[in-house]
Amino acid sequence: MKNPFDLTGRRAMVTGANTGIGQGIAVSLAQAGAEVLAVGRSPMDETRAAIEGAGGTMREVRADLGETGSVAAMFDKAWDEYGPIDILVNNAGIIRRADAVDFAEADWDAVMDVNLKSVFLLCRAFARKVFADERAGRIVNVASLLSFQGGIRVASYTASKSGLAGLTRLLANEWAAKGINVNAIAPGYIETNNTEALRNDPVRREDILKRIPAGRWGQPSDIGGTAVFLASDAATYVHGAVIPVDGGWLAR
């Protein structure tokens, strides 16, 4: 009997795979058998070492997803060069912090371009290829607790992640019957570069920790298992879900 979580023979593109949650997802997918196309702006030697150390295969794709005009071309080139892509994980994201009254328009645009616009463009490029080849596909978007809550001092990040949850549902409605599962993961407070400012603030760090029923901040690897599930045959009938992986934060 085949393991429904086995991704052997499948190819997964993971954006923002050079560090943090993206790296954790990339390694988990590779451990489940997928070939990983790791997309990032900076070298991904650490991700490669972890994947190859686990017996997996990784190919590096350098791209700046803030340059939205080249996103679709990057995807198409990767598909043509490495072969059909079965799984698309939209993880890359940036954050800018300031009071809303002082929030710079340039910071708003930069975050929205990476966190939301590039995701739509990648999803569209993926779907066009999948439909043309009459294949099945899986899209896993990385949302946030701020897809459900407001937060403070992160206006564009909250807007982008709220929009991403809506986009996930919209694409699921359009594409579920056409062979593409579109779902999202909403990570809680994970130890990554994006949360470094919070973790360096002793008051905020402790306030956050007190609210997490699990009693700890999450690790990037904590997100990987859910990504494997959503990318696998075990999630064939899962469409439009936004799954919190938050140590119980939203249940509090």
DSSP 66-116: T-GGGHHHHHHHHHHHH----EEEE---------GGG--HHHHHHHHIIII
* Closest CA relative to residue 164, chosen from 111, 129, 115, 199: 115
Q: Are 130 and 182 in contact (CB under 8 A)?
A: no
Tell me the C-alpha distance between 190 and 19, whole Å.
12
Q: At what angle do helices 105-112 and 155-175 cross, to 10 degrees?
A: 30
* Closest CA relative to residue 22, chosen from 114, 98, 127: 114
Beta bridge partners of 184: 141, 242
Q: Is 237 a catalytic residue?
A: no
Task: Extract the tokens encoding 67.
Answer: 């340059």
Terminal CA-to-CA distance of the chain, rounded, Å?
Answer: 39
What is the CA 249 to chain-centroid distance, rounded? 19
Catalytic residues: 157
